[in-house]
Amino acid sequence: MKNLILLLTTVVSLVAATVPINVELDIYSNKAFLSKSYYLNQSGEVTIKIPQNITIDKIRYSLEERCAVDNSTIIKPKNKEDIQRIVELTNKIKALKAKENLLKTISLKDIQQSEQIENLSNLLVDKLTQNMSEIENLKQQLIELDKKSKIKNSELTIAYTCERDTGKIKIIYPIDMIKYTPFYNISANINNKSVTIEKKATLIYRGVENYDDIDLNIYSYRYNQDVVPQPFYPRYLEEKKVLYAKNMLAMDSIQKSSPRKIMMKHQELATKSFYKIKSISLKKDEKNLIHVDKTILDASFKNIIDAYGSNKAYLQATIKTKKNYSGAQANYFLNQNPISTRYMEKIKKGQSTQLYFGENEYIQITKKLIKTLNEKTFFRDKKVSTQNWKYTITNKKPYSTDVEFITRVPVSKDANIKVKTLALPKFDSQSAEGKTIWNLELQPNGKKEIIFGYEISNSN
């Protein structure tokens, strides 16, 4: 019986040191970290696989208070065959380049017969072409060997002691070979007056192990960016402004979706937020499809007519979210029909946001010039220019719809130049930039007319 208990204790101790309690992958927009947690005995070692490029200084440990790391070592794999092959290929390339230089030095000036010159020229071209092809082939082999060497793993061994029988350790190190590409599917449902934002991502992980049960923590911000306020410098009048360029780091940039039900939660930190996705399967060297989030939001719809631009009506949805959404490429759908693919800018929590779902072809707009005139006043102390148009907006649908008609008037920064807006009916609002807006309701199969123009007077 004692022997059995001793055997079970030994097995439990071995499992405690080799099988992780939990594996997590923290993904930032420019960096990623992998962490593994283990149970500890009173003393012993933990050995794990890590990428070959990881050094001791890049590894962090998180331990319980009464445990300590005594020593840690990294053993790199012995790849003598690869090293020997790299040396062999490098020497072959050098020899072929020397041969190429030799072929280029062959002179044809001492050959008299044109037929011999032609034959030798063709031979030299063939030999040079063959030589260059061999060099390119060997270079490609070197690239493949380099890729192979990068995905080899080393072994990290951590010796520890704890003041009591049980403890925990978390081992954290950076992962460079990650390509995380988020995207959105944004669907508008006019009948239900809602917009669904579904966040997904593809994740390519070129690590040393597959994981059948890993947790993802997805952060929308960059690691180690904007940590402290900008330095304060005094501003002197007439001093030239110096522009400082920010160092923009870029993330190292077969599709499988996890078959199990994913547990996702949007969590908020003191200053930021992130998504936590539990217990997913992550296969190395494959494009994994990750379902990050799905939210259905109330939306109000109306049609925006840009009379200052394309003179068309576009369907606009206005939403207000309870969380932040980082900018990413998005697929847009209207009542489940694909509309477009374009970049979605960042959406801020609690702010009204407008999304667009393409042209509404059932709202037609015609524009007709009714007046254009340049004249002078009777005393010739002022020049006046007048332009007027008539817009006819027609609703071709058997139900009413809301329309926001937008046009613009010129803006003057010269006190001698005055601009007067001519409008019938009167517009609902006008900004300092000249943006002029009418809010209309179009009846089923109905139409509206707007007379719009402006008068510019110049006292110079």
Cα four-point dihedral sign 96, 98, 99, 101: positive
pLDDT of residue 85 exceeding 80, the answer is no
In a domain, 239, yes or no: no
Statement to judge: residues 423 and 321 lie in one domain = no
In a domain, 379, yes or no: yes
Statement to judge: residues 261 and 342 lie in one domain = yes
The CA distance from 313 to 444, in Å, is 16
Query: How confident is residue 147, by pLDDT bands cut at 50, 70 and 90?
Result: low
At how many degrees (to 10) do helices 80-105 and 114-150 cross? 160
Statement to judge: residues 341 and 269 lie in one domain = yes
Statement to judge: residues 370 and 327 lie in one domain = no
Statement to judge: residues 195 and 311 lie in one domain = yes
pLDDT of residue 227 exceeding 80, the answer is no
Q: Are the C-beta atoms of residues 453 and 444 closer than 8 Å to each other?
A: no
Statement to judge: residues 316 and 379 lie in one domain = no
In a domain, 296, yes or no: yes
Task: Please give the residue range of the domain that contains residue 381.
Answer: 363-458
Residue 434's pLDDT is 93
Residue 402, domain CATH: 2.60.40.3680
Statement to judge: residues 405 and 453 lie in one domain = yes
What is the pairing mode between strands 383-395 and 287-298? unpaired
In a domain, 234, yes or no: no
Query: How confident is residue 80, by pLDDT bands cut at 50, 70 and 90?
Result: low
In a domain, 245, yes or no: no
Query: How confident is residue 7, by pLDDT bands cut at 50, 70 and 90?
Result: very low
Statement to judge: residues 7 and 38 lie in one domain = yes
In a domain, 240, yes or no: no
pTM over 0.85: no
**Exposed, middle or buried by CB within 10 Å (0-12, 13-18, 19+), for 350?**
exposed
| Among 137-146, 265-274, 291-300, 375-384, the range of highest mean pLDDT | 291-300
